[in-house]
Amino acid sequence: REEGVVRQEDGSYLVGTYHEIEALLHDPRISSDRRKRTVPDETALAEQGLPPAFIGLDDPEHHRLRSLTMRSFGPPHTPDRISGMHDEITRIVKDLLGTFPGKERLDVVDDFAYPLPVTVICRLLGVPIEDEPRFRAWSDDIVAGIDPTPGEDPEARPRAAVEARKEMGLYLGELAEKRRAHPSDDMLSAFVGDGSGGQLTPLEIMTTSVLLLIAGHETTVNLITNGVLTLLRHPEELARLRSDPALMPRAVEELLRYEPPVHMLPQRTPLADIEVAGVTVPKGAPLILMLASGNRDPRRFRDPDRFDPAREDNQHLGFGSGIHSCFGAPLARLEAQIALHGLLQHLDAPRLLEDPPPYRRSPVLRGPRHLLIE
Ligand code: HEM
């Protein structure tokens, strides 16, 4: 951060200051489309199998797909489908907490945070409950493809991820066709059109549904897990939150700033030579925006390394900013608030059994692989 913009040996450029990141995320000369890069893209394999979804497209195509999808997710400022999920999420959280008794130690990841978002997204899309296990298996392969284990064949998991993407896409495409014949009130039914102009093509339904799962799964797992870890490391703040549960929404914002699940955005490419903090970043070079660093920039946040669940004026970069800013933010916020509240109510005096815990290998999606507590 102190050096401003850093050129790495592989020709990519890192930006870690809040104001520069924020400005780049609003700059129309910055593309999200990897195909516009001039440097080979080594991480692309795990993401193949389907054409790019709208997170990897630029306007006007991005805008068309995002707004069509948004319409079925609920209007941006009155996220009714999302607030309608409150009771459903509370039930899922309660069911997961109900599996705890009898366990000597808990893994916050496997026992709690991991199953929640995938179940929620299945319910939103309208995946029948009996198919949820298949959906979870694909989701596991896709997530593992992003995060291979050291020592194994580096291609094996990405290959499985490509297959899983395709299979899940096909499954969702077929389900959408069933909804076209027999609509219900789920998102897939909304995707296939309501006669009010514009709808997603079958291929776009596949790429968009897979995007919703991928963008919304591991990120939410990490927000909940990073949240538990951070709170257990700050017992005074934890006690404060227990005595004043109304602080929870602000505490979740602070977690998104302090330990953001998306540590960086590695996908940007300038469409022209651009000047960032006095450095020329050439057209086509990979541009990596370090959200986590921007979130701790002392020029933007007072006392940035302090975790303060009551922090005000918290315009963090945890959900990005600009045209690609997180589409699922209202859902992620709701899931994290309900999950953390439920867990804190359920556990009397939780204790970390391993600190620091083992982390996932991905430098982009940051969070523990396991988080053992008793
Ligand atoms: C975009 C973070 C949960 C769907 C983004 C971006 C970030 C982000 C940083 C910007 C990406 C970019 O600019 O390239 C997070 C975090 C989450 C979360 C930290 C959880 C804590 C979700 C959920 C969903 C979702 C639950 C959907 C169910 C999306 C989509 C985009 C996106 C579709 C692409 C938006 C666009 O390109 O216009 N998210 N996200 N996210 N997120 Fe999330």
- Over residues 283-332, the pLDDT tens digits come to 999 999 999 999 999 999 999 999 999 999 899 999 999 999 998 999 99
pLDDT at 42: 47
pLDDT at 211: 87
The lowest-confidence range among 7-11, 21-25, 220-224, 230-234 is 7-11
Q: How far is the CA of 254 from the centre of ligand 1 (A)?
A: 17
123 lines ligand 1 (CB under 6 A): no
Ligand 1 atom 34, closest CA: 55
Q: How far is the CA of 228 from the centre of ligand 1 (A)?
A: 21
Ligand 1 atom 4, closest CA: 328
Short-list 322, 305, 304, 320, CA closest to 364: 320
Task: Kindly tell me if the per-residue pLDDT of 78 is higher than 50.
Answer: no
> Average of pLDDT values for 182-187?
84
207 lines ligand 1 (CB under 6 A): no
Tell me which amino acid residue 318 is: G
User: Which pLDDT tens digit goes with each residue over 32-53?
Assistant: 998 887 765 544 444 555 678 8
Q: Three-state SS for 345?
A: helix
- Whether 269 and 37 have beta carbons less than 8 Å apart is answered as yes
Q: CA 174, CA 187: separation in Å to the nearest integer?
A: 14
Q: CA 341, CA 41: separation in Å to the nearest integer?
A: 41
Closest atom of ligand 1 to CA, residue 66: 38
320 lines ligand 1 (CB under 6 A): yes
265 lines ligand 1 (CB under 6 A): yes
212 lines ligand 1 (CB under 6 A): yes
The tokens describing 370, both together, are 């396991």
pLDDT at 77: 42
Q: Three-state SS for 5?
A: strand
pLDDT at 202: 79
Give 156's pLDDT tier (boundaries 50, 70, 90): low
**Cis ω before 356 (30° cut-off from 0):** yes
Set out the domains of the chain in order of their start, with CATH numbers.
5-373 (1.10.630.10)
Q: What percent of the chain has pLDDT over 90?
A: 55
Of 153 and 330, which is predicted with more confidence?
Answer: 330
